Amino acid sequence: MAYMRKFTYLVVFAFLFPMLANAQATYPFGTILKKVYADQGKNAANVIKPAQLALDGIKPDGTWADINYEDKSTTAWLPVTHLIRVTDLVYAYSTAESSFRKNDNVYQAIVNALQVWYNKDPKSTNWWHNEINVPQKLGLLLVLMTAADKQLPDELQNQLIERMKRGDMLSKTGANKTDIAMHYFYRALLTEDKALLAESLTEFFKPVSLVDGEEGLQYDFSYLQHGPQLYIGGYGNVFLGGVIKIANYVAGTPYALSKDKLALLSEFYSNTYLKTFRSRYVDFNIEGRGISRPKNLRKPSEKYNLNAMKAIDATNASIWENERLRVDSAVGYTIVPYHKHFWKGDYTVHVRPEYNFNVRISSKRTKRAEAGNNENLYGKYLSDGATNLQINGPEYYNIMPVWEWDKIPGVTTADHIEDVRMTVNWGEVGTNEFAGGVSDGSYGATAYQLDYDGVRAKKAWFFFDKEIVALGADINSNANEPITTTINQAWLEGNVTTSSGTIKKGEIFKSDLPSASWLQHNNVFYYFPKATKLEVSTQVQTGNWKKINQTHAKEEISGNVFKSWIAHGIKPDTASYQYIILPATKNIKNFDAKTIEIVSNSAQHQAVYHQQLKIFQAVFYSPSTVSSASYEIKTDKACILMLKEGKANEKKLYVADPLYKETTIRLQIKNVKTGKMADVEVQMPKGPYQGSSKEVIITL
C-alpha cells in the first residue's frame, strides 16, 4: 500500500516530475494526476539502484530468469515480482534528474517487459492477485509512465489498459470494493474518461457508509470483513488507506469526498483505528489472519495518512497533528482517556496515557479469527477473550512464531501438549450467545460466556483508570488436558518479581500464592486478591514463521518470553480466578487493595465496586440480585451495567444487553447506606444499536 508523502513533495514537485508535455491532460485529470505523481514521487537518487538491479537481470525477451511465470501460488505469488521490477524501471525512467531518464536501454527494457507480461498473462489461484493486485500495479506504472518524455507505443498502452479490466467493483463490498475501484480510477485517468472517473469514485466512496452486520463499516464504527469478522486492521486498514489516498487526490475537484462521508471517515480513523495504536504498534486483535505476517503489527508509515487527513479534514487539523505525533513516537502529544465496547465487532478498547488494554471476544453474531490462504494456522483461541496490554508498544511485535498458541493472553483454554492447528478456514461462527459490554466513553465492563472446544467459563473485565479487574467463574471442562487462564505472554523485558522473590531469566516458577500476592513484569503489577495457583515462565521459546504462515521462512526464531498463567487443573468443576492488572502503578506499595471491592464472582453474576471513583459495575448472566456494602441491584434480565455517582443523589446508569434480544430491562436499585430505592425500566436500543449502552439518570 502506498502512503501519502509529506507536503514538501508538493512544493518540490516541479523538480521531481516533468510537466505533462506529452499528455496535455484536461481538467480535472491533470490536477488529479499531479497529486498522484506527488504522492508516488521519489528522489532521483533513490530510483537508480533498484532500477539498475532490474536492468542487470532482464533478458532480451523482457523476462527475468529467476521468476517462475508458471507459478500459481495463492499468497507468495512469484510472477508479481515482474511488475515490481518494471515499476522500478519506470520510476528511474520517468523521474526528473534521474540519470536513467531518457535512457533508451531502460525504455526498451520497459517496453519488452510489459509486452511479455501481456503475452504471458500470468494468473494466480488467488482471485485477489488477478483482479486487484495486478490491475493496480499495471495502472500505477502506466500513470507514472505518462510523466516520461517518451511514451509507450499506443498499441501496447491500449492492450495493457484493456487487460486492467478485471474485477467487478459493483459486486464487491468493503475493502475489496475500494481495491478494485482504485484500478478503475487509474484507468479513468489514463483514458480521460469522465464517466468512468465518476463511476469509480462513486463506488470507491460507497463503503464510506454505515452497514448493519454486512461487510464494511458498522454502526459502532468497527470494521467487519469476510462476514461479521473483526478486521479494524487488515481489511479495515486497506479500506482506510485507500479512501484517504483517493480523497486527497480528488480534494478540491467536483469529485471530492462529501462532508457526510468525511465525517464518517474521520470518526472511524480517529476513534477506532488510531485508538488501537500504542506508538507505531497496533493491537494484535485487529489484524485477523495478518497476525501471522512478519512486521505486520508495526505501522511506520501511518504518519503519511495523518498528514493527508490534515489536508482533507482541515477543520480538525490539530487532532490529526496530535495523532501524528503520538503514533510517530514524537514529543508534545496528549492521550485522552477513552473506553468503548464495539457491540458489532465484539471488541473493547481501553486507552489511558500510561497504557492500552483491549479485549476481543466472540459470539454467534460474529465470526472467530480466521485462517485462510495457509495463514494464521494456529489462531484457534484468538477470539476467546484475548487481551492486548501495551505500555511501550512492541510488547507483542513479531512474537507470534514463538507463542504457545493455547496461552494467548487473557484466554481460558485446555493446555495441549502441542499447539492445535485450525481446521476451519475463513472464520467459524462463535458458539455462545452471551457477549457484550457497557461503556460511557471513559469506563466500562466487558463479559463473555465462553463455551468452546470443551471449555466453559464466565469471563469479565472491569475497566478503570489505574486498574483492570479480570474475573473468571464457573470454569468447567471434561477435557483430559489441564485448563489454564493465561495472564500474559509477551517478550521478556527486564526482571520479573513476585511478592515472594525474583524469577530469574530462563526459569519456570510454580507457586500456590496466598491471597494479596503480586507479580510484576515490564512495569506492570498483577495483584491476586485470593489464593492463586500461579505459574510463570521466563524461558527461551523458539519457532518459525512458516509454522503459522506457510508462505514465510523456516528459519528458527527465539527469544525469552514472559508467560504467566493460572492453573485450574484437569476437569475443573466451577473453578474461578480473579486478578487485578495495575499498568499505571509504579510501586505496589502505592496500591490500596481496599480501593477495589470484588463484590461477586459467581455463575450468576460478577461485580466490582471502585471505592474512589464511586463506580459500580456488574455482569448478570441471569435474572438475580447482587449486593455490596454500597448497592443492592436486582434485574429481571441478563445484562451488563454500570452505575456512577452524579450530583447530589443523582446517579448515571448505563445498561447493555449482551444477548441482543431484549426490548426492556427492569432494575431495582437500592442505596444500602440510605435505604432509598429506584425502580427503573430501561428501554433498550433497537436495530443496528441493539447491544449498545443505554444511559439513564436515576435518583437515589
Indicate if 235 belongs to the active site: yes
At 38, the amino acid letter reads A
| The 3-state secondary structure of 201-260, one letter per residue | HHHHHCCCCCECCCCEEECCCCEECCCCEECCCCHHHHHHHHHHHHHHHHCCCCCCCCHH
Strands 557-570 and 540-543: antiparallel
| Residues facing residue 511 across a β-bridge | 534
Give Cα 252 distance to the centre of its chain. Answer: 31
Which run of H or E residues covers position 558? strand 557-570
- Which of 85, 101, 183, 289 is flagged as catalytic? 289
| Torsion sign over Cα 165, 244, 301, 542 | negative
CA distances from 303 to 274, 299, 325, 390, 462 (A): 11, 9, 8, 20, 33
- Which of 9, 184, 219, 235 is flagged as catalytic? 235
CA distance 99 to 277: 41
Edge-to-edge strands of the sheet including 355-360? 338-342, 347-352, 355-360, 386-390
Q: Give which of 610, 661, 600, 664 is closest to 633, Cα–Cα.
A: 600
Q: Cell 427492569, residue?
A: 666
Q: What is the SS3 assignment for 111?
A: helix
Indicate if 421 belongs to the active site: no
Q: Cell 465496547, residue?
A: 341
Per-residue burial over 388-413, b = 16 or more CB atoms within 10 Å of its CB, e = otherwise: bbbbebbbbbbbbbbbbbbbbbbbbb
In this structure, the dihedral spanned by the alpha carbons of residues 148, 149, 153 and 159, taken in order and rounded to 10 degrees, is 20
Strands 496-498 and 501-503: antiparallel
Q: What is the SS3 assignment for 95?
A: coil
- Which of 129, 226, 339, 521 is flagged as catalytic? 226
For every residue of 632-651, DSSP letters joined together read EEEESS-EEEEEEE-STTEE
| Cis-peptide into 28, omega within 30 deg | yes
Instruction: Say if residues 111 and 119 touch (Cβ distance below 8 Å).
Output: no
CA distance 468 to 445: 9
Neighbours of 504 (CB within 10 A): 10
CA distance 3 to 661: 43
Q: Give which of 33, 30, 37 is closest to 15, Cα–Cα.
A: 37
In this structure, the dihedral spanned by the alpha carbons of residues 481, 483, 488 and 493, taken in order and rounded to 10 degrees, is -50
| Catalytic (active-site) positions | 226, 235, 289
